[in-house]
């Protein structure tokens, strides 16, 4: 018997471990790396931070979340598309600044107003 093996001869549902030499190798399964997402551009982050400082930020946030779409990829994995939502943030932040006659540029990512 392997020195690292443990075998409880009880049949009461307890865990029984055996040494690595007694296990059969399973085929390698690659991880799904499509679940990762690239960070948004600094302009999108700045627009989001700007809009979140506005009194009606909850409306912008709700609309942004509505624009995020999920589809299925060719292999059946779920793909989340943020393109329309990010475009909405950029356009809305620019329009908001124009209508409110703000001359200051959008804050840099990480800068707080």
Q: What letter would DSSP give residue 17? A: B
Give dist(CA 38, CA 50) in Å, integer. 21
24's tokens: 């059969």
| pTM across the whole model | 0.57
Q: pLDDT value at position 21?
A: 54
Q: What percent of the chain has pLDDT over 90?
A: 42
Sign of CA dihedral 93, 95, 99, 101: positive
Q: What is the pLDDT of residues 18-67, one digit of tens each?
A: 555 555 555 555 555 555 667 899 999 999 999 999 999 999 999 999 99
Q: Closest Cα to residue 43, out of 81, 88, 103?
A: 88
Q: pLDDT value at position 74?
A: 87
Q: Tell which wins on pLDDT, 60 or 14.
A: 60
Give dist(CA 112, CA 26) in Å, integer. 51
* 30 conformational bin, left if phi > 0, alpha if psi -120 to 50, beta if neither: beta
Measure the CA angle with vertex 89, ends 99 and 98; round to 5°.
15
């Amino acid at each position: 018997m392997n020195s690292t093996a443990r075998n409880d001869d009880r049949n009461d549902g307890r865990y029984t471990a055996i040494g690595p030499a007694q296990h059969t190798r399973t085929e390698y399964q690659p991880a799904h790396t499509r679940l990762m997402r690239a960070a948004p551009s600094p302009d999108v982050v700045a627009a989001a931070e700007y809009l979140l400082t506005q009194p009606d930020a909850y409306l912008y946030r709700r609309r942004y979340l509505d624009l995020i779409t999920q589809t299925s990829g060719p292999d059946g994995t779920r793909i989340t598309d943020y393109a329309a939502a990010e475009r909405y943030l950029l356009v809305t932040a620019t329009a908001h600044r124009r209508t409110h006659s703000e001359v200051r540029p959008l804050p840099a990512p990480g800068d707080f107003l």
